[in-house]
């Protein structure tokens, strides 16, 4: 067992909110101007009224700091100047004064997408300091974790017809075994009409880049960390379709949100930019664009110092890569 070492001082990248609180449409009292983040696909529903991750009006998200040692550990991770920044959500320093609740203020990785398709892939969920009880509890949740190396924690996938999202939670992920994990991942890339093969290959490239970072480092071990993957599900970017995007208002009327209400301003700007050279308007451009997907590492409440490679994390990445590559071969 290792002793956790808090990396650096507790500082920065915390939003310290003592500001006015507003009531959301659901009546929840939230931080000033914030709304529940409708693109959260996994993770704790903690924070004020168990809302979970919040979306700030400025387009960032606020993740409430967990109780020590998890929260401070995650905050300190973000304050490190690692050559890993390109694979992390951007964070900003914002301090609004004294308050009880502390928040990590992070780039919303889904923000630039009109119909973000989102998947959260988790790794082993106990760290070296976990009690025997927690260790056993976590293993019992997904005994195949050691063998498969990752767990599908949640996903939200846009379906073209009918115009809606389908979601799967971690219980779906836990139902996937060695023989079905590929089908589970395939669902993330299927829009009801076709497999988004190019999104698969772009995501593979990004994961390969993360793997290269892990192959070059021996300082840190990541436990209970996640990979967040996003690609554009909008039909305007698939096979040259020029369908008019659904009006955000129309989307709200349907049971399952069609696009994030939080992103409705982007839907509008997307529409108004149809006559301009919006990057998502042209299928060919978009599909060749390396930036058409996002793969970011998130959730760093259990990052521990080390002096050897994180073999377990790399094992999960390699298995994930080979499963995605298999999807492309089929
Ligand atoms: N930077 C981000 N951009 C967009 N969505 C995010 C971002 N960070 C987190 N999320 C969303 O919030 C969810 C939970 O995030 P995260 O894993 O950091 O929370 P957590 O409560 O610490 O999770 P856990 O309970 O697994 O420890 C993710 O699955 C994702 O949907
Ligand atoms: O997804 P589930 O089934 O809700 O399981 C939780 C999840 O694995 C969290 O990652 C873990 O918190 P940490 O990673 O922060 O330890 C939490 O532990 P906890 O119950 O000890 O809080 C688990 O209960």
List residues near ligand 2 (CB under 6 A). 70, 125, 134, 141, 170, 224, 301-302
Residue 20 lies in a domain: no
d(CA 11, CA 244): 46
Using 50, 70 and 90 to split pLDDT, how confident is the model at 77? very high
pLDDT for residue 288: 47
* Count of domains observed in the chain: 1
Residue 168 lies in a domain: yes
Q: Which domain holds residue 158?
A: 31-265+268-329
Q: What is the mean pLDDT of residues 82-107?
A: 79
Mean residue pLDDT across the chain? 78
- Indicate the top mutation candidate among 38, 53, 153, 227 to test ligand 1's pocket, ranked by most ligand atoms within 8 A of CB: 53
Q: Poorest-confidence range of 21-25, 42-46, 60-64, 205-209?
A: 21-25
Q: Poorest-confidence range of 37-41, 87-91, 99-103, 205-209?
A: 99-103
Residue 21 lies in a domain: no
Scored b (16 or more CB within 10 A) or e, 129-146 reads ebeeeeeeebeeebeebe
Q: Token pair for residue 95?
A: 């301090």
Residue 79 lies in a domain: yes
Contact present, 89 and 300 (Cβ < 8 Å): no
- Indicate the top mutation candidate among 68, 124, 125 to test ligand 2's pocket, ranked by most ligand atoms within 8 A of CB: 125
Torsional sign, CA 191, 194, 198, 203: positive
Residue 24 lies in a domain: no
Q: What is the DSSP letter of 290?
A: G
User: pLDDT digits over 267-306, tens only?
Assistant: 322 222 222 222 333 343 444 454 589 999 999 999 999 9
- Of 75, 89, 326, 37, give the one whose Cα is nearest residue 228: 89
pLDDT for residue 271: 29
Contact present, 314 and 215 (Cβ < 8 Å): yes
Using 50, 70 and 90 to split pLDDT, how confident is the model at 80? confident
State yes or no: pLDDT of 248 exceeds 60. no
| Maximal CA-CA distance, the chain | 60
Residue found by looking up tokens 């970011």 in the block: 296
pLDDT for residue 211: 98
For the CA of 223, the nearest atom of ligand 2: 14
Helix (H) / strand (E) element for 77: namely: helix 70-79
Residue 9 lies in a domain: no
Distance 4 CA to ligand 1 centre (A): 22
CB-count burial class (<10 Å; 0-12, 13-18, 19+) for 123 = buried
Q: What is the mean pLDDT of residues 51-65?
A: 89
Q: What is the mean pLDDT of residues 80-84?
A: 87
pLDDT for residue 45: 73
Confirm or reject: Cβ of 299 under 6 Å from ligand 1.
yes
239 dihedral zone (left: phi>0; alpha: psi -120 to 50; beta)? left
- For 216, other C-beta atoms within 10 Å of its C-beta total 9
pLDDT for residue 52: 85
pTM above 0.90, yes or no: no
pLDDT for residue 253: 26
Cis before 302? omega within 30: no
pLDDT for residue 94: 55
* CA atoms lying within 13 Å on the CB side of residue 243: 14
In this prediction, the answer to ipTM > 0.90 reads yes
Contact present, 61 and 72 (Cβ < 8 Å): no
Q: Poorest-confidence range of 37-46, 103-112, 200-209, 265-274?
A: 265-274
Contact present, 104 and 74 (Cβ < 8 Å): yes
For the CA of 45, the nearest atom of ligand 1: 21
Domain containing residue 205: CATH number: 3.30.470.160
State yes or no: pLDDT of 81 exceeds 70. yes
Residue 122 lies in a domain: yes
- For 243, other C-beta atoms within 10 Å of its C-beta total 12
d(CA 9, CA 18): 22
Grouping H, G, I as helix, E, B as strand and the rest as coil, residue 136 is: helix
User: pLDDT digits over 188-244, tens only?
Assistant: 999 999 999 999 999 999 999 999 999 999 999 999 999 999 999 997 754 444 343
Q: Token pair for residue 263?
A: 């992103």
Task: Quote the percentage of the chain above a pLDDT of 70.
Answer: 70
Task: Quote the percentage of the chain above a pLDDT of 90.
Answer: 61
State yes or no: pLDDT of 114 exceeds 60. yes
pLDDT for residue 28: 53
Q: Poorest-confidence range of 21-30, 92-101, 225-234?
A: 21-30
Residue 216 lies in a domain: yes
d(CA 190, CA 101): 39
Confirm or reject: Cβ of 61 under 6 Å from ligand 1.
yes
């Amino acid at each position: 067992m290792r002793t956790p070492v808090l990396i650096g001082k507790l500082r920065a990248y915390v939003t310290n909110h003592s500001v006015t609180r507003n009531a959301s449409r659901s009546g929840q009292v939230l931080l000033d101007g914030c709304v529940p983040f409708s693109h959260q696909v996994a993770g704790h529903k903690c924070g004020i009224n168990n809302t979970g991750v919040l979306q700030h009006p400025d387009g960032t998200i606020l993740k409430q700091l967990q109780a020590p040692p998890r929260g401070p550990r995650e905050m300190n991770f973000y304050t490190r100047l690692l050559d890993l920044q390109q694979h992390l959500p951007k964070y900003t320093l914002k301090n609004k004064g004294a308050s009880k609740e502390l928040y990590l203020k992070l780039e919303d990785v889904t923000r630039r997408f009109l119909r973000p398709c989102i998947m959260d892939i988790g790794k082993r969920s106990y760290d070296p300091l976990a009690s025997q009880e927690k260790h056993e509890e976590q293993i019992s949740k997904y005994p195949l974790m050691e063998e498969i190396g990752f767990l599908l924690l949640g996903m939200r996938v846009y379906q073209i017809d009918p115009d809606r999202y389908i979601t799967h939670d971690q219980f779906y992920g836990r139902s996937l075994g060695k023989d079905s994990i590929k089908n589970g991942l395939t669902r993330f890339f299927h829009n009801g009409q076709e497999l988004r093969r190019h999104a698969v290959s772009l995501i593979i490239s990004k994961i390969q880049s993360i793997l290269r970072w892990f192959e070059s480092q021996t300082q840190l071990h990541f436990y209970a960390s996640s990979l967040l993957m996003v690609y554009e599900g909008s039909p305007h970017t698939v096979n040259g379709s020029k369908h008019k995007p659904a009006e955000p208002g129309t989307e709200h009327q349907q049971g399952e949100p069609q696009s994030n209400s939080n992103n409705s301003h982007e839907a509008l700007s997307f529409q108004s930019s149809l006559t301009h050279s919006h990057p998502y308007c042209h299928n060919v451009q978009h599909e060749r664009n390396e930036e058409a997907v996002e793969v970011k590492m998130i959730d760093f409440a259990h990052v521990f110092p080390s002096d050897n490679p994180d073999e377990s994390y790399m094992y999960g990445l390699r298995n994930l890569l080979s499963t995605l590559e298999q999807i492309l071969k089929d």
